[in-house]
Amino acid sequence: MSRVRVLAFSVSLDGFSAGPDQALDQPLGVRGPELMGWVFPTRSFNAMHGAPGGEIPGETGVDDGFVARSFDNMGAWILGRHMFGPVRGPWPDASWRGWWGEEPPYHVPVFVLTHHARPPLVMQGGTTFHFVTDGIESALAQARAAANGRDVRIGGGPATVRQYLQAGLIDDLHLALRPVLMGQGEPLFAGLDLHALGYEAVQVVPGERATHVLLRKRGS
């Protein structure tokens, strides 16, 4: 049965999942790469992002296993507008095609939440970006249909994850707790009572550069 999942989602010790002041030269916000410091050294990350050369470099420990499994059985993704790019307001043109070049790492349909309509964007490798203007429920319905029985992954950013959590629409939440203090940025848990929303911690796994905490909605 299809599940709605948030996987490999980084959070700092003080609860931030993105740095402030996202820009073209700061796609993760200021100091945002520190949140992803557990992902970058892994073999799976290098494989997905086309590391040059013959043998793929990178570590193959606990963190790598979580990165690899986060792509298992994925039939569609949902992203917030800021995850797709730094452009704000109406689309000035069709020149912005995402952070990832012509072959993004998704390889399935991706539904981007936005207030401004844009035609679907077909990329190499099986990724098509669909721009959804009528809310999170509509995006999820479209993603479920496109996933054809496989899982739907909510890719972020933090505001998008919060909306889906508040609506009780996420089944599984894998947080990679990083031992860093951001001080500022975009908080993941602001305004949420996860216990009241029905979530509970079901597993904690120490990794090389993050502690992996798995939450599940009770009864899902």
- Give the tens place of pLDDT for each residue, 96-154: 999 999 999 999 999 999 999 999 999 999 999 999 999 999 999 999 999 999 999 99
Q: Per-residue pLDDT for 53 more than 70?
A: no
Q: 64 pLDDT band (50/70/90 cuts)?
A: very high
Question: For 61-90, what is the mean pLDDT?
Answer: 96
pLDDT of residue 69: 96
Please provide the CATH number assigned to the domain covering 4-90+102-217: 3.40.430.10
Sorted by where each begins, the domain ranges of the chain are 4-90+102-217
Buried b / exposed e over 125-155, threshold 16 CB at 10 Å, is eebebbbbeeebeebbebbbebbeebbbbbb
Residues near 199 by beta carbon (within 8 Å), at least 6 away in sequence = 165, 173, 215, 216, 217, 218
Distance CA 25, CA 46 (A): 21
The b/e string for 62-79 (b: 16+ C-beta within 10 A; e otherwise) is bbbebbbebbeebbbbbb
Beta bridge partners of 33: none
pLDDT value of residue 102: 95
pLDDT recorded at residue 220: 84
Give per-residue pLDDT as tens, 27-48. 999 999 999 999 999 999 988 8
Residue 42: per-residue pLDDT: 96
pLDDT at 56: 79
Q: In this predicted model, what pLDDT tens digit does every residue of 164-220 receive, in sequence order?
A: 999 999 999 999 999 999 999 999 999 999 999 999 999 999 999 999 999 999 988
80: how many CB neighbours lie within 10 A of its CB?
A: 20
Residue 47: C-alpha distances to residues 27, 57, 81, 174, 215 (Å): 21, 8, 26, 21, 27
Q: Say if residue 49's pLDDT is above 80.
A: no
How much is the pLDDT for 48?
83
Per DSSP, the three-state class of 202 is: strand
Burial of residue 41 (CB within 10 Å: 0-12, 13-18, 19+) is: middle
Backbone angles phi, psi at 91, to 5 degrees: -70, 120
Q: Which two tokens stand for residue 122?
A: 């077909």
